[in-house]
Structure 1
């Protein structure tokens, strides 16, 4: 007796879900129609026509959406594979296609920032190289607009600003955002110390290197921080 009841419950659930989906279509299309007719109430006849159209096209619409979802997955996989093979321009082209399907996915914009920065390194002439670097910066910024605490995007943009765009001070706020969430992020700390050093803020660079020495559990990183700290102290005090 239990099995027929369970089967009936499943059927009722599926029918309920199907009805709910159709109601959502009806609400959305009705709202669009009312907008088109400047808020006028739709007639019963027009609502019946809309319901009939939904019944006719719902399956086709669902198939098309599903097909585009699969296409988006294909472009994501292709981009990752290209990046693994260091084929960055091809990766960028695949990411562009994926973004057309998923325009609010921060990971796609982050990967686009990475790939375009790598493409820039292959450009010999200054103008094309700068164009690719500017594009990379824009992708990183968009990734952070979509996800303001995306650590990889924050760090990637900071690296780009320091080493490729030669704008170290602009990287500081992004690195501080990382350290506000991950206080012992050694990579961010090293880069922040570098930013301070390049900006002539030697005392602040010393403080950051001191923090690395105190907090890191990796001996090599502590040694590297100590060496950098010593060099700055020699610059400040003339080796005395």
Structure 2
């Protein structure tokens, strides 16, 4: 049954993660995937690879997202969307940008936005921002824009703040844009106080929701307080 299969997949992944050499953790599963003919077993092995989540696993599951069989493709995309670390972000961006399957696009977008909140030593804030810009250019609805904005809020960069600020003016996504703006402003307020304050003031000029206004005012207060302390320390 499904519960038993899921438990078995998790158990195999758990054992594999205990292998000391991280680069070899997926080798046995990859060998099985390459020789297995049963599509249902292939799908199960893909989910195991998602639990191992090393670079070899990612390459294999990404390749499976282009498999000739729709069931295998679906299992691969779902596995990628739930990837436990941020390494699948670029793969999900490509799926979202190029895939015509609406469900797969939504899964990819949701996973991508979630991964922007995960630590990634190999991805700079600038790279995250460029990825957000690319994804945003492909969005087809306000709901999709909201998901991108939720991820953008984790990008601590002044240009990300400017990007979020553009959407504060759009009523359909104003709440999400305001939340992203407040979060970014709080993150970069120490290093870019003037830009952060300007962005927060813009939120306050249009936001009507009480809790958003409270968050914006508190963030603005903290930025101004930090500026004041810095000025006093410099005297």
Q: TM tier, shorter chain?
A: 0.3 to 0.5
TM-score, normalized by length of structure 2? 0.44
Question: Which of the pair is proportionally richer in helix?
Answer: 1
Larger Rg: 1
